[in-house]
Each structure stands twice: as C-alpha cells, then as structure tokens.
Structure 1
Amino acid sequence: MNLTATEGQTVTLPCRAPNNKLLVAIEWSRPDLKQQYVYLSVDDHTERLNQHPSFKDRVILLDRQMKDGDVSLVLINVTTDDTGTYECRVETRTNSRRATLDAAPISIIYLRVDPPGQPGGSAGPTAGLSAIVCLLLLLF
C-alpha cells in the first residue's frame, strides 16, 4: 500500500491482526532503521528503550484496545524524514498458550511525505520563480 502526506499532517498506517488470537506484541518497524523500531508494545506496555529517537512521542496506536485486531499506527506531525517503508508485525497467542511471532509482516506500507506547498512533488521553487519571471516580462 502507498500513502502520501504533506509535512505537518497526521497519518494513520493501517494494520489488522487476526481476530481470533490474543495479541502479545505489536511491532512497527522500518527496515532502514536496523535494530531500532518505530513502535513496540509487549503485553500492553509500550517499549521505548530501542525506539528510534525521531519517533518518540509522535506515534500511538489508533485503537489502544486493539478491538477487532486493529493495530493501526498514528504518526503525528510527519516530516520528509518519515518517508519510507513501514512494516507491521504481531506476536500472537492461541488457546494453547504458545506464543508465535509472525516473521513476515502482516502489513507493508510505503509512506511518502512531501514538503508543504508541493503536493505530489510537482511544484517547487523553480515553478514559483518561472511565474515571477513571466509576470515581470508582461509588465515591461
């Protein structure tokens, strides 16, 4: 899934875990961050020890109760540095009390964050400068 946002916006990265299993851990990561993560919750406790510093105090779960397996992540005040691929993984427990970590992500999202005033990345300083030059040519 691809999402596009503008700097300063709040973005929700969707992810849904299986309904019939108890969620033990939720991990949101970006492969380029290596050992650090975007968000990690284990046994309903948010872990911050190895959280990447740029995400501290800017990420929360959309539904802290995770009703119907909703483990979507809200990313607050996005910047262009937030552009990248996000992966959602969960660790579940079934009735047998055996926990299993899904090695493969259950959701992969590519987020592109554009600077303000540049929706779609098509307009930029050059476009603004060209408009000014055209206006000056009309006046003289």
Structure 2
Amino acid sequence: MTAVAVAVGAQGCAKDPEQDRLWQVTEVYWNSGATPTPPNAMYVVLGEHSFAGDTGCGPVTGALRTAKDGASVTVSRVRTPKEPTCEGAALFYHQEFIRFFTGMLRVERDGNELTLRNETDESIHLVY
C-alpha cells in the first residue's frame, strides 16, 4: 500500500478539519475517460503549506496555498522522481494525477469525504 500526501493550509488559529488526515483517493474523474478506480492505492495527507506522498508509482511533493474561505487550494512546485517505479495503467494514473494536481482546485467537503475539482470539472474523490 502506498501513500500520497497533500497539504492544505489552515487559516487563522483554527485547524482545518482536512489537515493531518490520511485521505484515500477512491475515485478519479478525468477527461481521459479512464475508469474511476485507480489500479494502485493512492493516499493524500492534508497539512498546512505543502504536500508529500506517493501515487502508487512513486513519491509526490509540492506546495499549496488555501483560499481564506477554504473553498479552493492552489498547488505549485509539484515534484516527482525522474523515473516512476511502475508501468502500464499504474503509470498512466500517476501521470494523470500529476497533471491534475497542479494549479487551482475547488474543495468540496461532505463529512468524511473530500472532492478536489479543477477548472475543467475533472475531480478526485477522497475519504478518510
């Protein structure tokens, strides 16, 4: 089982409920038409100003900034190893995750579920 960690900044003194939780990526909805279930386990840990983890193909790290209202995050400086440790469908999902997880993402919360959605309405669905 592998992990993807993502950090979302907390505003003010109160801690975001998403922060420091291990979120599992359960579904992906990308314009590529790929099946929504990733072939490898993917996890996301929300933190304060950065993210780190693993897509099932290798580690991913970067920075992010949370909007004051908490409705969006902006992801930047995404880094991955030059050589992913997988091939086939797993590599495809790794590459698509890296492509998706850049720029501004809308944050939608529902209890223990979280959806991150980009400007083209692609999304990833996470649970803890």
What is the TM-score when the length of structure 1 is the normalising length? 0.31
Higher RCO, Cα 8 Å, sep 6+: 1
Q: TM-score, normalised by structure 2?
A: 0.32
Q: For the pair shown, which has the larger CA radius of gyration, 1 or 2? A: 1
